[in-house]
């Protein structure tokens, strides 16, 4: 069967970015199944408007923009429940020590407790690799506001981690 260049482009797009999209979706909604649905719906929308993507370097930001809109639509339809800390998945990475795995679970739990206005710029920076200016464009904010949010996001996260470690030790 002959595969069109459009289909090949889409295949490459999915294979290159499905992991990042899934993770971003996961941290937006805190639910693995929902994150998969969001990633899938994002790619289906991307397929329908693939001609709008001109620069390969812009693909990730383009997909994240679509994903954020999808998430906002989903949020409009139903209020998402907060994920219980006990439901959080852990990496199945043999190379990690039990301490690291424990630390990861504390960080993940803390991330989900961050307010969305702090969590989202942090995700864009850490997972997406975007600069402050790029995050500002994506979120429709000023660069200074984004820098403040990122600073506060880390402070709040560190504070939550201190609490989380204390609970883990207790």
Partner 1 sequence: MNCLDYRRELAPDPRRESAEMQEHRRGCAGCSAHHARALGFELALKRALAVPVPDGLAERILLAQTTSERADRGRRRRLGFFAAAAVLLVALGLGVHQLQIFSPLAQQLIVHLQHEPAALVTHTPLPVADVERRFSQRGVRLAAPPPAGISYAQTCPVGLLGSVHMVMPEREGPVTVFFLPGHTEPRSDYVDGDGGMRVRAIPMAAGTLALVAAEARHFDTLEAGWRRSLEGSPATAAGVP
Instruction: Measure the CA angle with vertex 99, ends 94 and 104; round to 5°.
Output: 80
Q: Quick one: which of 53, 107, 139, 141 contacts partner 1 (CB under 8 A)?
A: 107
Q: By CB under 8 A, what part of segment 49-88 binds partner 1?
A: none
Q: Quick one: which of 15, 77, 79, 169 contacts partner 1 (CB under 8 A)?
A: 15
Q: Quick one: which of 14, 61, 85, 141 contacts partner 1 (CB under 8 A)?
A: 14
Question: What is the closest distance, in whole angstroms, from the C-beta atom of residue 15 to partner 1 in the complex?
Answer: 5
Asked if 118 touches partner 1 (CB under 8 A), the answer is: no
The gap between the terminal CA atoms of the chain, to the nearest Å, is 61
Q: Kindly write down the DSSP assignment for every residue of 22-73, as one continuous string.
A: HHHHHHHH--HHHHHHHHHHHHHHHHHTGGG---GGGHHHHHHHHHHHHHHH
Give the x/- contact pattern for partner 1 in 150-169, rule: CB under 8 A. Answer: xx--x--xx-----------
Q: Distance (Å, rounded) from C-alpha 137 to C-alpha 151? A: 18
108: closest CA among 8, 17, 6, 30? Answer: 30
Q: In the complex, which residues of this chain contact partner 1 (CB under 8 A)?
A: 7, 10-11, 14-15, 18-19, 22-23, 26-27, 32, 36, 39-40, 43-44, 47, 89, 91-92, 100, 103-105, 107-108, 111, 122-123, 125-127, 131-132, 146-148, 150-151, 154, 157-158
């Amino acid at each position: 069967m002959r595969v069109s260049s459009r289909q090949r482009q889409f295949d490459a797009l999915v294979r290159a970015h499905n992991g990042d999209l899934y993770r971003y979706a996961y941290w937006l909604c805190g639910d693995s199944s929902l994150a998969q649905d969001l990633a899938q719906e994002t790619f289906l929308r991307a397929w329908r408007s693939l001609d709008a993507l001109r620069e390969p370097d812009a693909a990730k930001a383009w997909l994240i923009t679509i994903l954020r809109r999808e998430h906002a639509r989903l949020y409009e339809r139903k209020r998402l429940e907060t994920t219980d800390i006990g439901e959080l998945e852990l990496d199945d990475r043999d190379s990690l020590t039990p301490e690291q795995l424990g630390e990861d679970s504390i960080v993940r739990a803390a991330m989900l407790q961050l307010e969305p206005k702090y969590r989202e710029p942090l995700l864009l920076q850490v997972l997406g690799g975007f600069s402050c200016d790029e995050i500002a464009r994506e979120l429709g904010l000023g660069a200074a506001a984004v820098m403040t949010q990122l600073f506060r996001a880390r402070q709040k996260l560190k504070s939550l981690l201190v609490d989380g470690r204390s609970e883990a030790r207790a």
